[in-house]
Chains A and B, each alone.
Chain A
C-alpha cells in the first residue's frame, strides 16, 4: 500500500489563516470508521437518498458537496440517527460505525448520538450560560467528570474560544457573536468526547472571518476527531477536506421523484483537479447547481 502524500491545499493558494505545521499523509483508501452500505433514506414514501455506498476515514475531514436537494444533509443526519426524530423517516441498508450497524437491534440511539456528535447549520446555543452550555452534555449523559471546570476549560480551549470567554463564563451564550456561538456549539460537542463530529453547513450563516476561524479549528480538530461536513461552498470543501463526495439529484427509476445519489468520491485534489465524472466537473466548474 503506497501512501499518497498531500498538503491539503496543494491545488490552490493556501488559506491565509492556515499555516500547516504538519504534512498530512492520506491513505489510498479511507479506513472506514463509518461505512454506508447501500443506504436509502425515506421520508414517508419519498426516497430522499438512494443506494449510497461510502466509507469515511478516521481522523480525516470528508466533505459532502452537491446541489440543493441532493440528499447530502439527509445522509449526514442518518449517520447519527438524528433522522429518527423526524416523523415518517426511516433508513434502509446499513450504516456501520466501527463495523457495528447503528440501526441494528439493541443499538441505543442515545449512545450513537453521544459517540457521533453534530454541529448544525444555525448556531443553536442553549438559553443558558456559556459554562452550562458546555456542562450540559456531560451532565445529561452521566459522564464521570473529575472537575467540570477543567472539562469546560479544555473544551473551550480546543474550540479556540477560551481566551475570548474565560471572563464571562456565567453570562448568557446569547451574548456571543454568531461565529463565537458556533465555536461554542463545537466546544459543547467536544465536551461529551465523541469519536465523530458531523457538521451540517456549519458556516452558512457566518461572515468570512468567522468562517475562516471555524475552518482553522477543523484543521486542529482533525488530529483527534473524524469530521464529516456538508457544505454548499466548494471553496470550503477544497480548503478543509481530505476527501470529497459529490452528490446529485436524479429522477427515481420507479416513481420519477428526484432522489439523491452519490456520483463520485475521492481525495479532494482528485475530485477538484481531475474528476472522473462529467457531472462532477460541471458542478465544480460552476456550470450547474
Chain B
C-alpha cells in the first residue's frame, strides 16, 4: 500500500494581487478596438444610408405617394400601382413557395434516406441554389414561361414564379433547420405509442417547428420583396397607370419603381425614389421585426 504525505506545509509562492489585469493586456485591447471598429463601419454605413434617403425623400413622404399613380411630372406622381403590385406578387409568391418549401424540407429531413446518392444530390443542390444570383432565376423563369408559350411574361404569376424559385432554397434550408431543432425524443415518444411516422410529423414535429418555419419564411419573403433584377429580366413594366387586378395582370413593384425614378433626370423624381425607398425599408423592417418577435415569443425551449 502506497501512502501519500498530505501534511506538508502549505506554501503560497506568489500573492494573487499582482497589480495588473490580464484581460487588459495591450494585445487584448488592440483586438477589442478592432472589433469595435468593424462594428462601427457596418453600423455607420447603415445609419448614413437611412439618414440620407430620409432627408432626400422627406418632402415626398405624403399620402400622395401612396394614393397617386406615376405621372410625367414629379409633383403629382405616386407609387400606388407599385405598392399594390408588390402586395400581389409577394402574396402569390408566399402561396407558391411556402407549401412547396415546407413539403420538400419535411421529405428531406424526415423521410428521405440520406445514404441514397440521389437524396444527397438533392441536398447538395438545395444548398448551392441558395447562393445562385437572383438574375439567373429571372432567366430561368423567362425560359420556362417561353416554353409554356406565354408571350407576355410581365404578369404577376410570372414574377411570383421567378421569386418562388429564388426563395425556395432559403425556405427549405430554414425549415430543415427548424425540424432538426425538434428533439429525437419527441418523435420516439410519439412512435412508441403506436403513432405512424405521418402522424408523428403532422402532430408533433411540424407544430413544434412552426416558429422556426414562420421566421425563415418571413425573412425569405422580405428578401423577395426587395428584389428587382429577376423581375426586370421578365420585362416588368416601369410605368403603370392602373391597379394590378389579377394573376395575369401587368404590374410593377416598389424596387422597380425606385429603379425607374432614380434613372430620371429631374430632381423631383429622385426625391420620389428616396421616399419610396423609405417606404420599402419600413415594410422590410416591420417584416423582420415580426420574424424576430415570432422567434422569441413562440420558440420552444427543450
B interface SS class: helix
Question: B115, B192, B207, B300: which contacts A88 (Cβ < 8 A)?
Answer: B115
Please tell me if A114 contacts chain B, counting CB pairs below 8 Å. yes
On chain A, the residues within 8 Å of B188 by CB distance are: 82, 85, 118, 120, 124
Binds A, one of B14-22, B170-178, B193-201, B275-283: B193-201
On chain B, the residues within 8 Å of A127 by CB distance are: 186, 207-208, 300
CA distance A82 to B200 in the complex (A): 14
On chain A, the residues within 8 Å of B30 by CB distance are: none
Please tell me if B185 contacts chain A, counting CB pairs below 8 Å. yes
Q: Which residues of A in the span 84-132 have a Cβ within 8 Å of any Cβ on B?
A: 85, 87-88, 110-111, 113-115, 117-118, 120, 122, 124-127
Please tell me if B120 contacts chain A, counting CB pairs below 8 Å. no
Tell me if B185 and A124 are in contact (CB < 8 A).
Answer: yes
Highest count of chain B CB atoms <10 Å: which of A85, A87, A117: A85
Please tell me if A188 contacts chain B, counting CB pairs below 8 Å. yes
Question: A111, A122, A125, A189: which contacts B192 (Cβ < 8 A)?
Answer: A189
Tell me if A113 and B191 are in contact (CB < 8 A).
Answer: yes
Tell me if B183 and A124 are in contact (CB < 8 A).
Answer: yes
Tell me if A140 and B192 are in contact (CB < 8 A).
Answer: no
Tell me if B191 and A82 are in contact (CB < 8 A).
Answer: yes
CA distance A188 to B183 in the complex (A): 18
CA distance A185 to B193 in the complex (A): 10
CA distance A120 to B187 in the complex (A): 12
CA distance A192 to B194 in the complex (A): 8
Please tell me if B113 contacts chain A, counting CB pairs below 8 Å. yes
The 8 A CB mask of B156-196 against A (1 = contact, 0 = none) is 00000000000000000000000000010111111111111
CA distance A19 to B235 in the complex (A): 83
**Interchain Cβ contacts within 8 Å, total number:** 69
Tell me if A136 and B194 are in contact (CB < 8 A).
Answer: no
Smallest CB–CB gap between B187 and chain A, Å?
8
CA distance A113 to B193 in the complex (A): 6
On chain B, the residues within 8 Å of A136 by CB distance are: 190, 193, 195, 203
CA distance A127 to B204 in the complex (A): 8
Smallest CB–CB gap between A205 and chain B, Å?
11
Please tell me if A137 contacts chain B, counting CB pairs below 8 Å. yes
CA distance A118 to B189 in the complex (A): 8
Tell me if A110 and B190 are in contact (CB < 8 A).
Answer: no
CA distance A111 to B195 in the complex (A): 9
Please tell me if B114 contacts chain A, counting CB pairs below 8 Å. yes
Smallest CB–CB gap between A174 and chain B, Å?
8
Tell me if A126 and B113 are in contact (CB < 8 A).
Answer: no
On chain A, the residues within 8 Å of B193 by CB distance are: 113-114, 117, 136-137, 140-141, 188-189, 192
* A82-B192, A189-B192 given; A140·B186 CB < 8 A: no
Tell me if A113 and B189 are in contact (CB < 8 A).
Answer: no
Highest count of chain A CB atoms <10 Å: which of B186, B189, B191: B189
Highest count of chain B CB atoms <10 Å: which of A111, A118, A126: A126
On chain A, the residues within 8 Å of B114 by CB distance are: 87
Tell me if B115 and A113 are in contact (CB < 8 A).
Answer: no
Tell me if A87 and B113 are in contact (CB < 8 A).
Answer: yes
The 8 A CB mask of A178-195 against B (1 = contact, 0 = none) is 000000010011001000
Interface of A with B (CB < 8 Å)?
80, 82, 85, 87-88, 110-111, 113-115, 117-118, 120, 122, 124-127, 136-137, 140-141, 185, 188-189, 192
